[in-house]
Structure 1
Amino acid sequence: MQMALLGSLSPYLELTREEWAKLSDYNNLEVTEEELAEIRGLNETLDPEEVRDVYLPLASLIRLHRRATVELFRARNTFLRRRDLEVPYIIGLAGSVAVGKSTTARMLRTLMSSWSDYPRVYVVSTDAFLYPNSVLEERGLMDRKGFPESYDLPALIKFLYSLKSGARHLEIPTYSHLKYDIVPGERQVIDEPDIVILEGLNVLQTKGDGQVANMKNLYVSDFLDLSIYLDAREEHIRRWYIERFQILRETALRRPESYFRKYASLSPEEAEVVASQVWDAINGPNLRENIEKTKWHADLIVVKGQDHRVRSVLMRKI
Structure 2
Amino acid sequence: MDPLIPATRSPYHFFSAAQWATFRGREALTLTEDEIRRLRSVGDAIDVGEVERIYLAVSRLLYAHVESSQSLFRQRKRFLRGSDQARTPFIIGIAGSVAAGKSTTARILKELLARWPGTPKVDLVTTDGFLFPNAVLEAEGLMQRKGFPESYDVAAILRFLSDIKAGERGVQAPVYSHFHYDVMPGESVTVDQPDILIFEGLNVLQVREMPRDGKVVPFVSDFFDHSIYIDADIADLHRWYVARFMRLRETAFREANSFFHRYSLISETEALTVAERLWTEINARNLVENIMPTRPRADLILRKGGNHLVEQVALRKI
Match of 2:175 in 1: 174
CA 1:259–1:208: 2 relative to 1, 3 Å: farther
| Aligned residue type for 1:257 | N
In structure 2, give the amino acid aligned to 1:91: I
Would the aligned equivalents of 2:7 and 2:14 in 1 still touch at CA under 8 Å? Answer: no
Residue correspondence of structure 1 range 83-122 to structure 2 within 5 A: 83-122=84-123
Give deviations 1:94-149, integer Å, cap 9, x for gaps. 00001000000000011011111111111110011100011101111000000000
Aligned to 1:45: 45
Structure 2 distance, partners of 1:233, 1:199, is 20
- Aligned AA (2:134): N
Q: What is the distance in 1 between the residues matched to 2:210 and 2:253?
A: 35
In the alignment, is the contact (CA less than 8 A) between 1:149 and 1:208 conserved in 2?
Answer: no
Q: 1:209 to 1:143 in 2, by over 3 A?
A: farther
Q: Which runs of 5+ in 2 are unaligned?
A: none
AA partner of residue 149 (structure 1): E
Counterpart for residue 27 of structure 2: 27
Query: What corresponds to 1:195 in structure 2?
Result: 196
Q: 1:179 Cα deviation (Å)? A: 0.5
Q: What amino acid is aligned across from residue 301 of structure 1 in structure 2?
A: I
Cα pair distance change 1:75/1:56, threshold 3 Å: same
Aligned length: 310
* 2:241 counterpart letter in structure 1: Y
TM-score (normalised: structure 2): 0.94
| Structure 2 counterparts to residues 125-144 of structure 1, below 5 A | 125-144=126-145
Query: Which residue type is aligned with residue 151 of structure 1?
Result: Y
Q: Which amino acid aligns with 1:253?
A: F
For 2:14, the equivalent position in structure 1 comes to 14
* Separation (CA, whole Å) in 2 of partners of 1:209 and 1:110: 37
Q: Distance in 2 between matches of 1:6 and 1:118?
A: 41
* Contact 1:43/1:244 (8 A) holds in 2: yes
**Contact kept in structure 2, 1:131 and 1:151, CA below 8 Å:** yes
CA contact (8 A) 1:154 1:209 kept: no
CA distance in 1, matches of 2:41, 2:26: 24
CA separation of 1:110 and 1:26: change in aligned 2, threshold 3 A: farther
Partner SS, residue 117 of structure 2: coil
1:171: Cα distance to partner? 0.8
3-state SS of the aligned residue for 1:23? helix
Name the CA distance, whole Å, in 2 between partners of 1:167 and 1:6. Answer: 44
Residue 292 (structure 2) pairs with residue 292 (structure 1): yes
CA separation in 1, counterparts of 2:258 and 2:44? 22
The residue identity in structure 2 corresponding to 1:276 is E
Note the C-alpha offset of 1:27.
2.9
Task: Tell me the distance in 2 between the aligned counterparts of 1:247 and 1:72.
Answer: 47
Query: Counterpart of 2:244?
Result: 244
Structure 2 CA distance for aligned equivalents of residues 71 and 216 of structure 1: 28
Q: Structure 1 residue 208: deviation in Å?
A: 6.8
Sequence identity percentage: 46
SS of the residue 2:295 aligns to: helix
Residue in structure 2 matched with residue 235 of structure 1 by the alignment: 235
Partner residue, 2:257: 257
CA contact (8 A) 2:30 2:112 kept: no
| Distance apart, 1:216 and its partner CA | 4.2
1:168 is displaced (CA, Å) by: 2.2
Query: What is the DSSP-based 3-state SS (H/G/I as helix, E as strand, rest coil) of the residue aligned with 1:294?
Result: helix
Q: How far apart in 1 are the matches of 2:53 and 2:6?
A: 22
Write the letter of the residue equivalent to 1:145. Answer: K
Normalised to the residue count of structure 1, the TM-score between the two structures is 0.94
- Name the aligned partner's letter for residue 312 of structure 2: S
Report the Cα distance in structure 2 between the residues aligned to 1:270 and 1:39, rounded to whole angstroms: 31
CA distance in 2 between counterparts of 1:131 and 1:216 reads 24
Residue number in structure 1 paired with 2:306? 306
